[in-house]
Structure 1
Amino acid sequence: MLISLEWLKEYVDIKEDVKELENALTMIGQEVEAITVQGKNLDNVVIGQIVEYGKHPNAEKLTLTKVDIGEEEPLQIVCGAPNHRLGDKVIVSKVGAVLPGDIKITKSKIRGIESYGMICSEVELGIGNNSDGVVILPEDAPVGEEYRKYAKLNDVIFELEITPNRPDCLSHIGIAREIAAYYGRKVKYPSFDVFETLEDVANNVRIEIEDKERCKRFAGRVMRNVTVKESPEWLKRKIRAMGLNPVNNIVDATNFVMFEYNQPIHTYDLSKIKDMTIVVRAAKKGEKLVTLMGDELELDGELVIADSEKPMSIAGVMGGLDSGITNETKDIFIEVAYFTPENIRKTGKKLGITSESGYRNERGTDIENVPEVLDRVTSIIYEIAEGNIVGKAKDVYPVKFTKIEIPLDIKKFRRFMGKDIDAQEVARILTNLGLEMKSIGQETAVVIPPSYRQDLTRSADLYEEIIRMYGFENIENKMPVENIKAGIKAEPIRLMDESKEILSKIGLQEVINYSFIDKSVRDILHIEDEVIMIKNPIAETMSMMRPSLIYSILTNIRENLNRNQDSIKIFETSKVFKKADELAQEDIHVAIGICGRDHKTLWNSKPEAYDFYMLKGYVEEYMELVGAKRYKLERTSNPNFHPGRAADIKIGKIVVGTFGEIHPDLAEKMDITKERAYVAEINLTLLKQYISKKFKYERIVKYPEVTRDLAVVLDDSVLVGDMIDMLKKSSDFIETIELFDIYKGEHIEAGKKSVAISLTLRNKVGTLNEEDINKVIDKVLNIIRTKFAGEIRQ
């Protein structure tokens, strides 16, 4: 919202300088986005008169002029505009002027002729949008006077960021009220008279509101014999200050009052209103209207202002071209109305129309102020366009506005504010803001907001009003006297945070994805559980709450591969969702994804691709660091994973997770073809009950360890993990068993594999002798032969 300082001073006394006023506006909630000082680029710009005029000798489209600017000698200026003539009063930028856009005026030579300045257009001066020719001033413009002084371009324009709940501040009077309340001054409302002629029955306009839900009040008045012409200078200055171009005196008058009161106004050519009838109704399906901007709209149900035959405007949004004011218009009908904001928002969005009127109507206007605004705009049009004001205004107001009463607990407010403010000070602030004090005591009050403050509905709103006018800077910083204790994280959140820290430390990078995925994922991932569909998805590809993190991780892998990233090691920790009896069941899952190979280095010229065992290492390290050690790995039957390169993580009979290479069919569906992808997904909600952070400490064993390496040949179908688990239980002397090689190929029978394991043996109470060691090894070999049909590799 643009606010003119000179215009604002007409409604409230302002003694403060621009900087202080900027601070005051910001402190009371009307944030200043920018400040523009008019005329700051108009140094060395004066009024001149063309005293010699002729064609440029070396260019047909240029003229050679001499311009009197009130100095000893006229300036010789070459000009390319088509509209200037001998004797015209023009605006001249002298040598040394710096125009908007950092255009520096210097002595120059144009087609061989010297030029000592420039005759300017509106665009070049930054005072308008007309670039078709230079500005021609009235004959009485004083030669030699600064144009800035002549045009009264000494204004300061504030650009304010008005919040949606304060539509009353989209006007000069609204901001004047704020400033007056802050400084404790009076608002000077406009004074005007309306001189009505006797009403003629033939001049009556019949007004009917059919849609009383979307139009709460509609007022209008007829004026005859007006003269549509250019606006006076004072009005054009105000319209330009608001960033608009003047149109004519009728349109400019309505815009002026809109910026004054925040009440959009529309005028119609009375001769184009069929049967002198105005109906506020819903548009019939298929009805058409050409807007003032020239766009043809096909309507269906929108609120329109119509005559007895056709729509004339989109109510509260934009007028129609056919019923608009033209230079030939003699009789007009002036409309001031109140439309429900919700309807204006929906209509503007549906039709794709934005306008100053729509911007204000969709935020809400003052329904009680409609008659005053109508009289105000009528008086201005009467002043600048003459004509006759025919009879009394018509005002259709079916349901009257009801003011609300808001109770205010002053004692409670003092505790909230943190300061012992006097009840009379509270009353003074609220009264200055235009609120009515129905009652006031030391502890309680009853407050009635005015009709233009429909944002005030509860006591909390009054708190804000009092504090911002009292001044935040006047409230001392005092620590509350409270017994404050730090809270603790809920166990699921703590585990999530701990998991993120662990996975980051072991070399994985976190990704964050939406919790919404495409409903087709249910078939892609063979999901059998009941899923949760979203009734109003923001996109078709985000219509289901994800029951698994695998799809998101695979999507991340695919997109990184498509961008030539060849080393992908990522994780995500988030909630997944599935249907429960009444509410959704939300479990926390951890997912890990790896794909590609290590980056090439001088020592690693042919980096090896990531494989199942690398992912297994990440999973096992995570399980150990998170405190879940009592688990085993079993070959999985999960259809999303490769049947021979994946495993379930089981604790007892509970599957808490699965990891491995994704199934080739799934890889093909996900378009992951460059590299093999490996994914793990762990249900942290299930796992947390098996997590233990209790540590058992033992004395350092002083007796030495003994290691023995064995290479055994097993059938390909034997699960090495099961064998190692059984071997560990065979003797108390076995401290650890580690798998360090699996070999298939030459010298190994087809369908077999060579497995190399390293056993660490130790006696905690004495030194192992050769006999003890041999007994353990014999027992191990016996289990390998009898239970797993294995043989020592020769």
Structure 2
Amino acid sequence: MLISLDWLKQYVDIKEDIKQLENTLTMIGQEVEAIDIQGKDLENVVIGQVIEYGKHPEADKLTLLKVNVGEEEPLQIVCGAPNHKLGDKVVVAKIGAVLPGDFKIKKSKIRGVESFGMLCSEVELGLGEDGDGIIILPETATVGQEYREYAGLDDVVFELEITPNRPDCLSHIGIAREVAAYYGRKVKYPDYTVSEIIESINNNHVSTRIEDKERCKRFAGRIIKNVTVQESPEWLKKRVRSMGLKPVNNIVDITNFILFEYNQPLHAYDMEKIEGKQLVVRAATPGEKIVTLDGMERELNNGELVVADENKVLAIAGIMGGENSKVTEDTKTIFLEVAYFTPENIRRTSKNIGLASDSSYRFERGLDIENVPEVLDRAAALIAELTGGEILHGVMDKYTEKYEKIEIPLNIPRLRAFMGKDIPHDTVGTILTNLGLGIKTLDQNTLLVTPPSYRGDLSRPEDLYEEVIRIYGFENIEDKMPVEEITPGKEDKGIAIVGRAKNVLAKVGLQEVINYSFVSKEAIEVLGITEPTMVISNPISEDMSVMRPTLRYSLLGNIRDNLNRNQNDLRFFEVSKVFKPGEEGLAEETYRVAMALAGKEDKTLWNPKPEAYDFFSLKGFVEKFLEYMGISRYQLTRSEDKNFHPGRSADIKIGKFVIGTFGEVHPDVAEAMGIKKERAYIAELDLTMMMQYMGNTVKYERIVKYPEVTRDLAIVLDTDVLVGAMIDSIKKTSNFIEKVELFDIYQGDKIEEGKKSVAISIVLRKKDGTLEENEINTTVEKILGLIKKSYNGEIRQ
């Protein structure tokens, strides 16, 4: 909402400067978003008079002028415009002026003749579209006066953010009431007189009827005849321009002026164009059409509320009038309408037909139904004054549902407790009275408060608390910490474990990513998911139409996007929920942990030749994560998951339950995701399932003082033997075995086809003494026997 300071001062005395007023408006709830100081681009632009006129010696189309600008010496100016003559009053941009568009006026030479300024057109001053000639002013203009002062362009316009519950503030009078209430001043309402002629308005002129009483509660009008439609006076054009509108003619400009003065839309009909001498407020019949004032033909098919005559629709009620009844230069008699249409109807219609206007913006928020007669009289008086028209005696006013006042009890002690301030009783009464609210004393602690009709947002005591506080001033209420006995709550176990998982993954060197909980239907096809999914009935977009049942698709998308941007060291993790259909149509939610690797580590001083990430890189992250999360009793078995490369993936099992899967992404899935540059590796674990297996305590053991013994074995195995399972079996053969690690796998020329050489390191230690040679040999023999018997393995020769 735009508010002109010059206009606002007509309704309330304002002594404060711009900064103070900005702060006041913001503190009382009408937040200032921007301030436009008009005329700031018109410094050094003054009124001048041509006192010498001649042709340029080197150019037939240029004139050489001497212009008096109120200084000791006239300015010599070269001009190319065709529309000036000796004695004209003109607008002069002197040297040093900076016009709109950062156009700087400097001393210049034009065809060898010096020029000390410029005569200006509307375009050059940013005031209009006429650039064919310079501005010629009336003879009454004062030479040397600043043009912005002369033209009334020295205004300040505030742009306010008005909340939807305060439609009364969408006008200058509305804001004047607020400012007056805050400073304790009087509102100066417009002073006007409605001079009616003897001829009375009646059904011989036009009849009005409301057929749709649910959507139109009031429809009033006056007839004004013998109007002269012409250009508006300068003061009215200035007001209209300050609101960002273009002046049209005196009648249209008055309706716009009243709109921003009282926050009440009006519409003027050309009486000659109303067929059948009747105006009916009704629902549109399907297929009816109207060309609205914006020049667009609109077909009405949803029972939109319209104002119509006997044969045609004249206006879409509360939104926009039609071309077929608009006021033109030939109009002699008008019907001036002021109405009240219900907000929900206007909001629905505006959305259905895709048309919004200043009128619909206000009707959607609710207007003051009781103010209709005053607005109608104010507008009629202005029209009669500026057009020479005659106002017929009487008003046509159909009022179907009368406004009922309400009384709200206000308990002063409760107000004080709410504010945390012992505000005086009289101060509360003064604030409410200044806001235009009626008050009666019910008892020593209670007031009965009656809001005015324009304050539909006030309906309960809490609303009145807000009114008192904002006018009293938030800055006048001291800060006090509440004294409460608060018992600290317990952190939810699931949330705690999610936080723990994130911390662990970050510490092991992965970077967190956060993705939307929605994926496209394509994701289900790419990953071959056959289980039921949660499909969203009203998705934000087709790419977000399914609640994701897995985190894999999102992380693969992260890998693709980063590789496409030449980021080649990718180590991601995400901890989030996945969804599947549950009971009674609700979603069943579980936490998942996902890790993703692709590319190779960036080069460093210690890593000059980085190697690409592989299955074992991811396995290391997975094992470290499980270790830190307190899960040690698990098995790795070959995975049959179709999203992963066969033979390069594993399931993580605890007992018979699979808590996760990890490995290289299947080439078909990678290709479908657009991952072409590098192999991708994904791990996904069910964190919700893991929670029941996590160890909650950390066990500490004394450091063993006896030395360890290391034995390295190279074992030849069939290629399909799972080394992880073999290592788990080895660990169980003796209490002396402290650690078993795989450090090499070889397949090549010296190894039989279908075989692989696996090198493992075994650390042996005795906790209560030094290992004897025979104990070491016995343990190694047991290990080799196990490998031979259970895995058909032999020592590599």
TM-score by length of structure 2 reads 0.94
Equivalent residue, structure 1, for 2:190: 190
The Cα shift of 1:444 comes to 4.1
Aligned with 1:193: secondary structure?
A: coil
Q: Check 1:210–1:136 CA distance in 2 against 1; reply closer, same or farther (3 A cut).
A: farther
Structure 1 contact 128–245 (Cα < 8 Å) conserved: no
Cα distance per residue 1:298-329 (max 9 Å; x no partner) = 33333332222222233222222232221221
The corresponding residue for 1:523 is 525
Which amino acid counterpart does residue 705 of structure 2 have in structure 1? K
* Residue of structure 1 in register with 2:504 after alignment: 502
Conserved in 1, the CA contact under 8 Å of 2:201 and 2:395?
no
Name the counterpart of 2:694.
691
Distance 1:327 1:63, change over 3 A: farther
The aligned residue for residue 290 of structure 2 is 289
Q: Deviations along 1:731-761, whole A, 9 cap, x unmatched?
A: 1111111111121222222222211111111
1:254 paired with 2:255, answer: yes
Task: Give the direction of change, closer, same or farther, for the CA distance of 1:434–1:93 in structure 2 (3 Å limit).
Answer: same
Offset of 1:443 from its aligned partner?
4.3
Asked if 2 retains the 8 angstrom alpha-carbon contact of 1:203 and 1:390, the reply is no
Q: How far is the alpha carbon of 1:605 from its aligned partner?
A: 6.4
- Structure 2 residues not aligned, in runs of 5+: none
Mapped to 2, the partners of 1:417 and 1:746 lie a distance apart of 87
Aligned to 1:370: 372
Write out aligned runs for 1:524-563 (5 A). 524-563=526-565
Q: Distance in 2 between matches of 1:39 and 1:502?
A: 61
Q: Is the 8 A contact 1:423 1:441 kept in 2?
A: no
Indicate yes or no: 2:793 matched with 1:786: no
Deviating more after overlay: 459-468 vs 503-512? 459-468
Cα gap change, 1:406 to 1:746, in 2 (>3 Å): farther
- The farther-off stretch of 697-706 and 397-406 is 397-406
State which drifts further: 89-98 or 496-505. 89-98
The question of whether the paired residues in 1 share the 8 Å contact of 2:201 and 2:223 is answered with no
Residue in 2 that maps onto 1:136: 136
Instruction: State the Cα RMSD in Å.
Output: 2.4
- 2:649 aligned residue: 646
CA drift at 1:148? 3.9
Helix, strand or coil for the counterpart of 2:295?
coil
Which one of 575, 579, 582 corresponds to residue 580 of structure 1?
A: 582
Counterparts of 1:417-436 in structure 2, within 5 Å, are: 417-436=419-438
- The aligned residue for residue 299 of structure 2 is 298
Q: Whole-Å Cα distance in 2 between the matches of residues 61 and 311 of structure 1?
A: 54
- Please tell me whether residue 727 in structure 1 is matched to residue 727 in structure 2: no
Offset at 1:692? Answer: 1.4
Whether 2:335 is the aligned partner of 1:333: answer yes
SS of aligned partner of 1:219: strand
- The whole-number CA distance in structure 1 between the counterparts of 2:350 and 2:486 is 50
SS in 2 for 1:118: strand
- Structure 2: distance between partners of 1:43 and 1:548: 65
Match of 1:400 in 2: 402
Q: Write the mapping of 1:445-464 to structure 2, written as runs, cut at 5 A.
A: 445-464=447-466
- 1:423–1:454 CA distance, 2 compared to 1 (3 A): same
Letter matched to residue 579 of structure 2: F
CA apart distance, 1:129:
4.8
Shifted more, 287-296 versus 607-616: the winner is 287-296
Where does residue 772 of structure 2 map in the other structure?
769
Stretch of structure 1 that moved more, 45-54 or 289-298: 45-54
User: What residue is the counterpart of 2:169 in the other structure?
Assistant: 169
Q: Relative to structure 1, is the Cα distance of residues 390 and 650 closer, same or farther in structure 2, using a 3 angstrom cutoff?
A: same
Aligned in 2, Cα 1:270/1:59: closer, same or farther, shift over 3 Å? farther
Q: How far is 1:514 from its partner?
A: 0.9
Counterparts of 2:313 and 2:351 in 1: how far apart (Å)?
Answer: 19
| Residues 414 and 421, structure 1, Cα contact 8 Å, conserved in 2 | yes
CA distance, structure 2, for counterparts of residue 350 and residue 589 of structure 1: 43
Distance 2:681 2:777 in 1: 41
d(CA) in 1 for partners of 2:675 and 2:154?
Answer: 67
Measure, in 2, the Cα distance between the counterparts of 1:140 and 1:338: 45
763-772 or 420-429: which moved more?
420-429
- Specify whether residues 108 and 671 from structure 1 end up closer, same or farther in structure 2 by C-alpha distance, changes over 3 A only: closer
Matches of residues 700-779 of structure 1 in structure 2 within 5 Å? 700-779=703-782
Provide closer, same or farther for how the CA distance between residues 391 and 740 of structure 1 changes in structure 2, counting only shifts above 3 A: same
Partner Cα distance (2:297, 2:114) in 1: 52
SS at match of 2:502: helix
Contact 2:269-2:336 at 8 Å conserved across structures: yes
SS at match of 1:741: strand
CA change 1:39–1:773 in 2 (3 A) is closer
One-letter amino acid of the structure 2 residue matched with residue 743 of structure 1: Y
Q: Deviations over 1:404-438 (max 9, x none)?
A: 44444443332332222234432322222122335
For residues 752 and 71 of structure 1, the distance between their equivalents in structure 2, rounded to whole angstroms, comes to 106
Q: What are the superposed Cα offsets for residues 60-109 of structure 1, whole Å, 9 maximum, x if unpaired? A: 54344444445566544332334334443322233444444444433332
For 2:119, give the aligned amino acid.
I
Q: Which residue of 2 aligns with 1:3?
A: 3
Q: Hey, what's the Cα distance between the residues in 2 that align with 1:256 and 1:219?
A: 19
Q: Distance in 1 between matches of 2:459 and 2:59?
A: 71
Distance in 2 of aligned mates of 1:201 and 1:168: 33
* Residue 333 of structure 1: how far off its partner (Å): 1.5
Q: Secondary structure at the match of 2:395?
A: strand
In structure 2, the partner of 1:14 is 14
Equivalent position amino acid for 2:363 in 1: N
Amino acid at match of 2:629: V
1:577 Cα deviation after fit? 0.9
How far apart, CA to CA, are the structure 2 residues paired with 1:257 and 1:428? Answer: 30
The answer to whether structure 1 residue 24 and structure 2 residue 24 are counterparts is yes
Shift of 1:562: 2.5
Q: How far is 1:378 from its partner?
A: 0.6
Q: 1:604 deviation in Å?
A: 5.8
Q: d(CA) in 2 for partners of 1:295 and 1:58?
A: 52
Confirm or deny: 8 A CA contact 1:427 1:440 kept in the other structure: no
Cα 1:89–1:292 shift into 2, 3 Å: farther
Residue 52 of structure 1: how far off its partner (Å): 4.6
Q: 1:22-51, CA deviations, whole angstroms, 9 ceiling, x for partnerless residues?
A: 221121112223333444444443333344
1:356 aligns with 2:340: no
* CA shift for structure 1 position 671: 2.7
Change (3 A) 1:285 1:64: farther
Cα distance, 1:331 vs structure 2:
1.1
Cα distance in 2, alignment partners of residues 239 and 423 from structure 1:
43
Give ranges in structure 1 of 5+ residues lacking alignment: none
* Separation in 2, partners of 1:631, 1:411: 66
Q: Are the equivalent residues in 1 in contact too, given 2:221–2:336 (CA < 8 A)?
A: yes
Q: Label 1:19 to 1:87 Cα distance change in 2 as closer, same or farther (>3 A).
A: same
| Counterpart in the other structure of 1:77 | 77
Equivalent in the alignment of 1:570: 572
Letter in 2 for 1:26: T
> Which amino acid is 2:533 matched to?
V
With the length of structure 1 as denominator, give the TM-score of the two structures: 0.94
Moved more, 338-347 or 322-331: 338-347
- 2:504 is equivalent to residue 469 of structure 1: no
Rounded Cα–Cα distance in structure 2 between residues aligned with 1:5 and 1:641? 69
Which residue of 1 is the match for residue 266 of structure 2?
265
Distance change >3 Å, CA 693–CA 60, structure 1 → 2: farther
Return 214-223 or 225-234, whichever deviates more: 214-223
Q: Secondary structure in 2 aligned to 1:721?
A: helix
Letter in 2 for 1:24: T
Q: CA deviation at 1:774?
A: 1.1
Q: Which region of structure 1 is more displaced relative to structure 2, 687-696 or 763-772?
A: 687-696
Count of aligned pairs between the two proteins: 794
CA–CA distance in structure 1, aligned partners of residues 736 and 311 of structure 2: 103
Q: Secondary structure at the match of 2:521?
A: coil
Kindly indicate whether the alpha-carbon contact (under 8 Å) linking 1:423 and 1:442 is maintained by their aligned counterparts in 2.
Answer: no
CA distance in 2, matches of 1:202, 1:56: 68
Separation in 1 of the partners of 2:98 and 2:713? 91
